[in-house]
Structure 1
Amino acid sequence: MSSLNTNFSKNISIVRPEYFFILGLSGIAYGNYYYVFLFIIYFITVIGNTTVILIVAINQSLHSAKYFAMFNMALANIGETNALIPNMMKTFFSDSQYISYNSCLANMFFVYFFIAVQSVTLVVMAYDRFIAICLPLRYHALVNNNVMSVVLSVAWAFSASMVGLLVSLITQISFCESNVIQSYFCDHAPVLRLACNLSSIITFIRNLNAVLFFVAPFFIIVLSYIGIFFAVSKITTWEARLKALKTCVSHLLLVMSFFLSVMCISIIWSNNSLTSNAGIIITSLAYGISPMLNPIIYVLNTVEIKVLIRKVFNNRSANRRNASR
């Protein structure tokens, strides 16, 4: 470790380590079994979200604004999971916990980029539900495939630019004391703890990203549902009210899953009393569970997807019966 710390590349006043050391879980018996558990989460996440992507892409009946957003969310889920878990597997099962400076920044960018896309997509989904329930007669004018394509494209570009700015500012930081990251990937907060010249602009951009991708989306979604509940309260019959609210169940579950994870991670960042191992376990679960649950939520709460899956199984069963005759 000492030989690595002396191998620094210097650019005027900026001091950077050639490598970072990803600490991961330390001193825990059978810690490898936890990594295997995370890999199982990864496998379920990839299979589930890939299934959702294929269902939406193949079936023309699902080529609508609502399902474009669902397709986008599944893509972001796969992106986040692939940015996190395979690299972790490679790091800890190959006994090479060192990651180059540039690879660390790339890993940080892709993790936070896909998380930002998920957050913005949840806002887009809230907009879709708000218009569908509060302004149903104008739905096809305000929410159509062209509008959704433009909105989601802007969401990806905006997320990439803001997260890119956040990560690029890391290059203006000097690391003078340690290169050991107290996490299982190149997490932004643990990396900043290693800095010895943290500037106000970096703190401002970090807080701005937190507001843009976590605080603001949460309050926008809350406001949209206040409007939805107000509109539903004006419906005369309970059956019609429940029918309207049922269309929001999937989105509400996605919002709960995502923002509960964000809250858990925020608590870890602000609570120094937790041990490193406890923090790593909680954050890794928070990052991994939400993308795994999302496709399950889609399938269980989306009538069109359930109908298509039943058709596929019924067709296969019919083909098997015909083949056995």
Structure 2
Amino acid sequence: MELFNSDLERNITFVRPPYFIISGFTGIPNMKYYYVILFIVYIVSVLGNTAVMVIICLDHTLRTPNYVAVFNLAFADLFGSSAVVPKLPFNAPFNLVALSYDRLIAIIFPLHYQVKVTHKFMFSLIAVSWLFVITVTLISVDLLTRLSYCESVVINSYFCDYDFIQDLACNDNALNVVTDHLISVLTLWLPLLFILCCYSHIGYTVLAAVRERVKAFKTCTSHLSLVAIYFLPVMFTFALNEYIDANTRLINMCLTTVFPPMLNPIIYVLQTQEIQVSVKRLLKIKKQSKTPVKCKI
């Protein structure tokens, strides 16, 4: 009985350190140049995403359900770049899901687009995605509080990486690992599968009527670029996580964090005709407003 009580007390005794130490980019050569690159990428990301948000707000022709999702993506990228934790990075896959669904309906069912893709539908989808991501984050944090830390408190990352924190635990973290894999399936692999299914259907339809649908297919290139930029680095990190050293994984995670928010607005400005037309129209209006009015006597 005494042995049982001692085991019980040991199981319910948690060692919670007052803080964790984030090691950051230590032991990586020529980091000063990398910091300069990160600074430039961050500035471009902030300016680009802010510009996209301002353009959508100023041009009433862009206040469509599609650009509601684009605005939300720019918003998430802007504040995600400025505050890594909590970054809520998984909100980006759900924005890409919304954009792929929008393109699917617009190309496959163009006559039903106005009925199926409404502002109410897009706002509801975005709200659900934010609520889901916040809930997942709270669950992950709650599971971390159930772990005990009796050895190292040094996190080999540049932010409070969930995986590194649960790996430092000295008690059973099986529930955390299972939950982590489940969250990865729900927030990464299922959205990717849905996106691939959407664009496979679009591709099949376009190939069936090439001449009539080439122009429509071009509107998907920007979305496919965003999908590749976000998912490929993440999949690379997950696939080779056990085979790459800590510093390589750290740099790859950092690039995955900072580069998609920088490239997203650039891709939309360069590849989306509506954005290009809107920029030209806004610049023309601004130029005309500054032109002095000549008075005839």
Aligned-partner Cα distance in 2 for 1:305–1:199: 48
Deviation at 1:322, TM superposition (A): 4.8
Is 1:302 equivalent to 2:272 in the alignment? yes
**Structure 2 residue 125 is matched with structure 1 residue 151:** yes
Deviation of 1:163 after TM superposition, in Å, equals 2.2
Residues 29 and 257 of structure 1: CA distance in aligned 2, closer, same or farther (over 3 Å): closer
Q: CA separation in 1, counterparts of 2:64 and 2:153?
A: 48
2:63 matched residue in structure 1: 63
Q: 1:198 to 1:83 in 2, by over 3 A?
A: farther
| Deviation digits for residues 102-154 of structure 1 (CA, Å, limit 9, x no counterpart) | xxxxx3xx22x2x1111111111111111111111111111011111111111
Q: Cα deviations across residues 168-207 of structure 1 (Å, max 9, x unaligned)? A: 2111111111011011111112212211124332112101
Give the total of aligned pairs: 286
- Match of residue 38 from structure 1: 38
Pairwise mapping of residues 13-92 of structure 1 onto structure 2 (< 5 A)? 13-84=13-84
Instruction: Name the CA distance, whole Å, in 2 between partners of 1:250 and 1:131.
Output: 16
Judge conservation of contact 2:69–2:126 (CA < 8 Å) in 1. yes
Q: Specify the alignment match of 2:230 in structure 1.
A: 258
Q: What is the CA RMSD across the aligned residues, in angstroms? A: 2.2
Shift of the 268–192 alpha-carbon distance from structure 1 to 2, 3 Å rule, reads: farther
Shift of 1:19: 1.3
Runs of at least 4 residues of structure 1 off by over 6 A?
none
| Kept after mapping to 2: 8 A contact 1:48/1:292 | yes
1:222 to 196, 199, 204: 196
Provide the rounded CA distance (Å) in 2 between the counterparts of 1:135 and 1:223. Answer: 16
Offset from partner CA, 1:38-89 (integer Å, 9 cap, x none): 12211111111111111112221111100001011111111221122xxxxx
Deviations 1:271-293 (A, max 9, x none): 2x42x322222211121101110
Shift of 1:29: 4.7
Q: Which amino acid in the other structure matches residue 142 of structure 1?
A: K
Partner amino acid, structure 2, of 1:161 = T
Give the stretch that moved more between structures: 257-266 or 284-293: 257-266
For the 8 Å contact 1:69–1:124, the answer to whether it is kept is yes
> Retained in 1: the 8 A contact 2:233–2:252?
no
Rg comparison, structure with higher value: 2
* Aligned residues of 2:52 and 2:74 also touching (Cα < 8 A): yes
Q: Would the aligned equivalents of 1:265 and 1:286 in 2 still touch at CA under 8 Å? A: no
CA contact (8 A) 1:189 1:269 kept: no
Aligned to 1:187: 161
1:261–1:290 contact (8 Å) kept in structure 2:
no
Would the aligned equivalents of 2:166 and 2:176 in 1 still touch at CA under 8 Å? no
Gaps of 5+ in 2: 1-9
| Structure 2 SS opposite 1:19 | coil
Q: Who is 2:6 aligned against?
A: none
Aligned-partner Cα distance in 2 for 1:52–1:318: 22
TM-score (norm 2): 0.89
Q: Residues of 1 paired with 2:288 and 2:171: CA distance?
A: 68
CA distance in 2 between partners of 1:299 and 1:66 (Å)? 15
Question: What are the superposed Cα offsets for residues 231-267 of structure 1, whole Å, 9 maximum, x if unpaired?
Answer: 22232x52x2211101111110100000012123324
Deviation at 1:16, TM superposition (A): 1.4
- 2:107: which partner in 1? 133
